[in-house]
Amino acid sequence: MHKGRVVFGAMEEVVFGRPAREAIIEQIDRLGASRAFLMVSGTLNRETDEIENIRRALGPRCVATFDAMPPHTPRAAVIAASEQARAAKADLIVTVGGGSITDGAKAVQLCLANDIRSVDDIDRLRAVNGALPPMAAPAVRQISVPTTIAGGEFSALAGVTNEKTRVKELLHHPLVMPRAAILDPALGAHTPEWLWLSTGIRAVDHCVEGICSREAHPYGDAQALKGLSMLAQALPRVKADANDLDARMDCQIGTWLSMGALVSGVPMGASHGIGYVLGAEFDVPHGYTSCVMLPFVMRWNKPDNAERQALVSAAMGHPGKDAGDVLDAFIRGLGMPRSLRDVRVGPEHFDRIAEQAMKTPWVPRNPRKIDGPAQVREILVLAA
């Protein structure tokens, strides 16, 4: 008999296949906002007219623009954005960009609500030993227009990097989930190929670790399996033709579905946990961490969950094949890195990575039990 708990998030709408500029205006009208604070990609702001077109459409309802969020969402940038939003008296945050910007806006919401004004103050927001501190709920919420496909806009989690410790820390509140997500495939045409495809593998990772979890349930499976199928078909189409907007739209919808298991309460596993450390400690792009780790984690896990892994192979169009091999070939076919060596991480770092990975929320919930750093190191050696 199935047992479990499904959590429904605070997102109200997903708009897909519409120009972002039009959909943003409709959402602002729906929400009754009058002071929109834009948190956007610096590249889009400085090298295209996409952000200026949004500002022009908003008119006086755009009160400020922040375009300086680095990868991995460092604390200092979160504080800088928070101070700018506070000074502008923002009543809504609109993000246009990748996952670091989306996560940054989630953190800004908590900073505004809890009078967080310095990098050290962020300690008051982070979970300690898995327990969340008491905090005020965000009053200034966000809507998000993603330009990459890792899927963070569909979660109530924000990963923020502590520059002092080089650890990515999770912030959480149910209401940091955006009120709406707007999926505009045309904006993705500005995203570098490596970034689109690698974040697509991050979405694949969400699907795969959700399907393979010990805590998987039918509600999450339905979304993850369909999302994985769509991503497996659409990512190579984007690789073949960057102007194929139908393929980009399928990638975005597949990414939306990829978050179904995680958002509804299914934990991720060692690929995500190790990935957090590789990103914060070694500045490896988070999409690349999945490219490098996921097939090896699958191979290490297979003795304990071969039956679930068979679902992955079938969803990717290769029933009966080894899931680790299928993922390896798929990632190689997209031209993505496939080893820790490829992302400049060597064996001399493995002990530290293993120790740090054990402190993430995901490694202890990997489907094949990981009792300590020595087992994480076994996976890292496979991925070397």
Evaluate whether residue 19 is within a structural domain.
Answer: yes
> What does the angle CA 210 – CA 228 – CA 341 come to, to the nearest 5 degrees?
80
291 and 312 inside one domain: yes
176 and 209 inside one domain: no
In terms of pTM, does the model score above 0.85? yes
- The domain boundary, picked from 153, 183, 213, lies at 183
Q: Are strands 167-172 and 157-162 parallel, antiparallel or unpaired?
A: antiparallel
Evaluate whether residue 5 is within a structural domain.
Answer: no
Amino acid at 382: L
Q: Please tell me the distance from the alpha carbon of residue 82 to that of residue 301, in angstroms, as a whole number.
A: 41
249 and 372 inside one domain: yes
Is the pLDDT assigned to residue 130 strictly greater than 80? Answer: no
Helices 218-240/286-315 angle, 10° precision = 110
Predicted local distance difference test score (pLDDT) of residue 346: 97
Report the C-alpha dihedral over residues 227, 233, 239, 242, rounded to 10 degrees: -80
Instruction: Check if the beta carbon of residue 52 is closer than 8 Å to that of residue 79.
Output: no
Evaluate whether residue 253 is within a structural domain.
Answer: yes
Q: Please tell me the distance from the alpha carbon of residue 236 to that of residue 280, in angstroms, as a whole number.
A: 29
Predicted local distance difference test score (pLDDT) of residue 172: 93
Instruction: Check if the beta carbon of residue 319 is closer than 8 Å to that of residue 222.
Output: no
Predicted local distance difference test score (pLDDT) of residue 317: 98
Evaluate whether residue 276 is within a structural domain.
Answer: yes
Continuous segment of H or E residues that includes residue 109: helix 99-113
Predicted local distance difference test score (pLDDT) of residue 193: 98
What is the pLDDT averaged over residues 140-168?
A: 95
Predicted local distance difference test score (pLDDT) of residue 205: 98
What is the pLDDT averaged over residues 150-163?
A: 95
179 and 210 inside one domain: no
What domain count does the chain have?
2
Q: Please tell me the distance from the alpha carbon of residue 20 to that of residue 16, in angstroms, as a whole number.
A: 9
What is the pLDDT averaged over residues 2-7?
A: 82
Predicted local distance difference test score (pLDDT) of residue 103: 97
Continuous segment of H or E residues that includes residue 214: none
91 and 123 inside one domain: yes
Is the pLDDT assigned to residue 253 strictly greater than 80? Answer: yes
252 and 233 inside one domain: yes
Chain segment 202-237, per-residue pLDDT in tens: 999 999 999 999 999 999 999 999 999 999 999 999
Predicted local distance difference test score (pLDDT) of residue 5: 83
Chain segment 278-290, per-residue pLDDT in tens: 998 999 998 999 9
Instruction: Check if the beta carbon of residue 291 is closer than 8 Å to that of residue 198.
Output: yes
Evaluate whether residue 3 is within a structural domain.
Answer: no
Count of other CB atoms within 10 angstroms of residue 29: 10
Q: Are strands 62-66 and 141-146 parallel, antiparallel or unpaired?
A: unpaired
Q: Please tell me the distance from the alpha carbon of residue 134 to that of residue 188, in angstroms, as a whole number.
A: 38
Q: Locate tokens 């690349």: which residue?
A: 288
Average pLDDT of the residues of the chain: 96
83 and 222 inside one domain: no
Predicted local distance difference test score (pLDDT) of residue 6: 85
> In the structure, what pLDDT confidence band is assigned to residue 3 with cuts at 50, 70 and 90?
confident
SS3 of the chain: helix, strand, coil, percent, to 5: 55, 10, 30
95 and 201 inside one domain: no
Evaluate whether residue 4 is within a structural domain.
Answer: no
> In the structure, what pLDDT confidence band is assigned to residue 127 with cuts at 50, 70 and 90?
confident
Is the pLDDT assigned to residue 33 strictly greater than 80? Answer: yes
Q: Please tell me the distance from the alpha carbon of residue 148 to that of residue 196, in angstroms, as a whole number.
A: 6
Size of the chain in residues: 384
CATH of the domain at 86: 3.40.50.1970
- The domain boundary, picked from 183, 212, 241, lies at 183
Evaluate whether residue 214 is within a structural domain.
Answer: yes
Is the pLDDT assigned to residue 129 strictly greater than 80? Answer: no
Is the pLDDT assigned to residue 348 strictly greater than 80? Answer: yes
139 and 249 inside one domain: no
Is the pLDDT assigned to residue 86 strictly greater than 80? Answer: yes
User: Could you write out the DSSP letters of every residue in 136-149?
Assistant: PPPSSEEEEEESS-
Domain extent for 66: 13-183
Predicted local distance difference test score (pLDDT) of residue 79: 98
Evaluate whether residue 7 is within a structural domain.
Answer: no
Q: Which residues pair with 39 in a beta bridge?
A: 66, 95
204 and 62 inside one domain: no
- The domain boundary, picked from 132, 151, 183, lies at 183
CATH of the domain at 310: 1.20.1090.10
> In the structure, what pLDDT confidence band is assigned to residue 195 with cuts at 50, 70 and 90?
very high
Q: Please tell me the distance from the alpha carbon of residue 50 to that of residue 47, in angstroms, as a whole number.
A: 9
238 and 146 inside one domain: no
292 and 358 inside one domain: yes
